[in-house]
Structure 1
Amino acid sequence: MPTPDRTSLPEIVTAGIDLLEAAGLDKLTMQAVAERVGVRAPSLYKRVRSRDHLLALIAEQTLHDLTAKLDAATVRAGSDPRENLRAVARVFRAFARRRPNSYGLVFSQPMEVANPSEELLANSSRPVIDAVAALVGPADALEAARTVTAWATGFIFLELGGRFQLGGDVERAFDYGVDLLADALLASSSGHPVAR
């Protein structure tokens, strides 16, 4: 008779996320995850091929979690395209602040580590692309989404790293940047500067 399963793949991934957030990428080991789920390390290999496979699973779950939050934010924001972009940017930042190591795994590790499927990548990018498409139109949406994502990611990594040392209100600076981007995107689609 086969040995009963003592853990599941979702439990392993959740334990991996918890350990990643608590201790960082270097401390995320198969042994640590096994201890967290109450099995011996060799038992994990029934479900997870390697640490790299575990990291990929954590990255995938992180993208699923972030996408769900972005989708919920855009529904709440309604039809105002500027407010939609604000909502997406705020959720993106709040997620990174709540789960900085998972966010870093997805947005700063080489693609070999966190290499989501094309379908997952397209799905997780959709809320940002949709938000900017309402500002610039579908023809320029991908380029605009990349611009917004690059700016937000840079801001977030500087903030998480404690790099804003000159005082001032970082919340206000973030909102200012999002509004500036929204204005620029609107202006680029209409050919006219947008009055604020």
Structure 2
Amino acid sequence: MPAPDRTSLPEIVTAASALLEERGLDGVTMQAVAERVGVRAPSLYKRVAGREALLRLVAERAFADLAERLDAARGLPELAAVYRAYGHARPAAFRLIVSPGVGVPAVDVSYAAAASAAVRRLVRERLGVSGVRELEAARTVTAWATGFIGMELHSGFNLGGDLDAAWDFGLSLVLGGLDAVAGAGETSPQARGSSVREKN
């Protein structure tokens, strides 16, 4: 009779994800994962091709987890808070998906698209528009939040002060800018350029 399987792919990815948070990217090795799930390292290759494939699976799960959390948010302030909480709770996973760095395998764009769907939806609701402006606005919100969280995780704010207050202030500026655009009924930059040319 064949020997029973002692582990599964989901268990392997869970172990690798935990090691990522505990030891960083360099700590996610096939040997370390094998020890964590209680098998010999060669046994892992029955489930996953190698470390590169494993890191891709870890990133895909992180994206999926983040997408699920963001999708439950009601409004951009709550979404931003959920995004920040994820970065603080899973800093290594956050870094892996927002700035993977050299040597980290690329994840299919569909995972990033799924994670960004909620911000695009909530931006569209706030602006009342779609298309180019929706994407531009979503990128603005995401870039500001990602930059702020990234600086927090890397101890980049070293001048003192209340970081929660700074987050609230920055978010109010970003959202206020979106509200101003929505109130002005502006169209895309391309359309504004066309309008100027027509007037001239």
- The alpha-carbon deviation at position 48 of structure 1 amounts to 0.9
Give the match for residue 44 of structure 2: 44
Deviation at 1:122, TM superposition (A): 2.0
Aligned equivalent of 2:130: 138
Report deviation, 1:110: 4.1
CA distance in 1, matches of 2:67, 2:103: 21
Structure 1 residue 26, shift from structure 2 partner? 0.9
Q: 1:99: which partner in 2?
A: 90
| Partner Cα distance (2:182, 2:166) in 1 | 24
Q: Distance in 1 between matches of 2:168 and 2:42?
A: 48
| Residues 180 and 112 (structure 1), Cα distance of their counterparts in 2 relative to 1, 3 Å cut | same
Q: Deviations over 1:49-71 (max 9, x none)?
A: 11111110000100111111112
Gaps of 5+ in 2: 186-200
Are positions 1:129 and 2:126 aligned together? no
Deviations, residues 137-167 of structure 1 (Å, cap 9, x unaligned): 2121111111111111111111111111111
For residues 98-140 of structure 1, what are the alpha-carbon distances to aligned partners after superposition, in whole Å with 9 as ceiling and x for unaligned?
Answer: 0000111111114873533333222211011111112222121
User: Which deviates more, 63-72 or 112-121?
Assistant: 112-121
* 1:71 equivalenced with 2:71 (yes/no): yes
Larger-Rg structure: 2
Aligned-partner SS, 2:155: coil
Q: Does residue 159 of the first structure (1) align with residue 152 of the second (2)?
A: yes
2:178 matches 1:178: no
Report if aligned partners of 1:62, 1:102 keep a CA contact under 8 Å in 2: yes
Aligned to 1:54: 54
Contact 1:135/1:182 (<8 A) preserved: no
The aligned counterpart of 1:11 is 11
Q: Which moved more, 1:102-111 or 1:147-156?
A: 102-111
Q: Aligned match of 1:189 in 179, 182, 194?
A: 182
Identity %: 51
- Matched residue SS, 1:31: helix
**Where do 5+ consecutive residues of structure 1 fail to align?**
78-83
Q: Aligned to 2:79, what secondary structure does the other structure show?
A: helix
Structure 2 equivalent of residue 34 of structure 1: 34
Could you state the TM-score of these two structures normalised by the residue count of structure 2? Answer: 0.86
Asked if 1:147 is matched to 2:123, the reply is no
Q: Root-mean-square deviation (CA), in Å? A: 1.6
Partner secondary structure for residue 20 of structure 1: helix
Equivalent residues of 2:15, 2:37 under 8 A apart? yes
Contact kept, 8 Å, 2:56 with 2:107, in 1: the verdict is: yes
| Matched residue SS, 1:109 | coil
For 2:172 and 2:61, the matched residues in 1 are separated by 30
Counterpart code for 1:37: V
2-structure distance, mates of 1:114, 1:124:
18
Counterpart CA distance in 2 for 1:51 and 1:141 is 37
Q: Number of paired residues?
A: 183
